[in-house]
Amino acid sequence: MVKGNRFFEQFDYHELLGILENHGILSFYHQRASELQVSLFVDPYGIHGINHARRVLMLALILSFLNGLGQKDKDILVLAALYHDIGRTHNGRCTVHGEHSYKKMVKLNLVPAMEPHELILLKYIIENHCIEDDRAFKNAEQFHTDRHRAIELLKLLKDADNLDRVRLGDLDVRYLRTPYARQLVTVAEMLFQEISQVEEDTCNKVLEFSGDRFCSRCGGIHIRNAQEAMQVAEAFGIGLVLDTCYCEECGCARVGDAIKILYQKIMETPDNPLGARARAIDEIRLRRAKYYN
């Protein structure tokens, strides 16, 4: 449920997407979103996982466009949106994961070459995005003459992050900090629905393709020849095929991302209409866990 939405006129989702496409923002989004890897997240398919980061990135790009940000500020906001939650160790309330996320960025060499001042701004907005506003804004005093810029960038990141609370059903528009953000609730809802549909379609592809190919020993998918490898490529996308690893004992290829998405969907929907088949796949997951532990 979204509270307070009736007070603010909303952007038309499809009309806005057309404008973004004409300005090259959608292609830029796809380019940057591809940098996200599931290995960056403790719970990649959880509520603060990779798809949340993708939606925050898109919302941040929309806000940067509507607010007319310069290139340097846009670059800072994009980096912050991509990696703001990679330091999370759980999905509960947490006021320190921003600090952990920035440290993880540095450790993994995810911070590009930037001017020192821009680097400090990036660090500030990531570390403070999960802290209450009063304290976070007070922390901007370190910037002296550039304090307003730091706070405005932080507000945009916080609003992009908060808009995706539509996935949790507890967004209150009245607490958004910037005017354009209050007009993007419908857009945020549509983004969530579209990415959720992509996940569901992927799960259906897994089920349709896998059939009896699941290995009861390791929980992987049997790929026994070049023809089956091509079938996997068509079903899951070549990126997933390239990301496979192989069970040393039985030789099965394990298509990791696709299987994880499937398990996540099963666990999220206990009354899954797939019924017995879903339970059988879940049993394979348990066998796989036992096999590797």
Residues 162 and 33 in one domain: yes
Task: State how far the Cα of 8 lies from the Cα of 184, in Å rounded to an integer.
Answer: 9
Domain assignment of residue 73, yes or no? yes
Same domain? For 19 and 147 the reply is yes
The CATH number that applies at residue 174 is: 1.10.3210
Name the helix (H) or strand (E) containing 5: none
120 lies in the same domain as 211: no
Q: Structurally, how many domains does the chain consist of?
A: 2
CA-wise closest residue to 60 among 141, 155, 179, 143: 155
pLDDT band at 45; cut points 50, 70, 90: confident
In a domain, 190, yes or no: no
**Residue 113: partners with Cβ closer than 8 Å, 6 or more residues away:** none
Q: Quick check: is 208 in a domain? A: yes
Query: Of 289 and 137, which is predicted with more confidence?
Result: 137
- Residue pair 87/101 in contact by the 8 Å Cβ criterion: yes
CA atoms of 139 and 130, how far apart (whole Å): 13
Q: How many CA atoms lie within 13 A of 54 on its CB side?
A: 22
Q: Are residues 89 and 207 in the same domain?
A: no
Banded model confidence at residue 91, pLDDT cuts 50, 70, 90 = confident
Buried/exposed code over 21-54 (b: 16+ C-beta within 10 A; e: otherwise):
eeeebbeebeebbeebeeebbebbbbebbbbbbb
User: Could you tell me which residue, 251 or 91, shows the higher pLDDT?
Assistant: 91
pLDDT at residue 134 is higher than 80: yes
User: Does residue 193 form part of some domain?
Assistant: no
User: Could you give the count of Cα atoms lying within 13 Å of 189 in the half-sphere of its Cβ?
Assistant: 16
17 plus 162 within the same structural domain: yes
Letter string b/e over residues 110-131, b meaning 16 or more CB atoms within 10 A of that residue's CB: beeeeeeeeeebbbbbbbbbbb
pLDDT at residue 23, as a whole number: 96
Across the chain, mean pLDDT equals 78
Confidence band for 184, pLDDT divided at 50, 70 and 90: very high
Residue 56 has pLDDT above 70, yes or no: yes
- Of 84-93, 151-160, 227-236, the poorest mean pLDDT is in 227-236
Unique residue bearing structure tokens 């206990």: 270
- Do residue 157 and residue 121 come from a single domain? yes
Residue range(s) defining the domain that contains residue 271: 201-292
User: Is residue 89 scored above 60 in pLDDT?
Assistant: yes
pLDDT at 262 over 90: no
- Indicate if 155 and 40 belong to the same structural domain: yes
Tell me which of 255 and 186 has the higher pLDDT. Answer: 186
Q: What is the pLDDT of residues 154-170, one digit of tens each?
A: 999 999 999 999 988 88
Do the domain assignments include residue 183? no
| Residue carrying structure tokens 């569901």 | 200
Alpha carbon of residue 206 to chain centroid: 21
163 and 261 both lie in a single domain: no
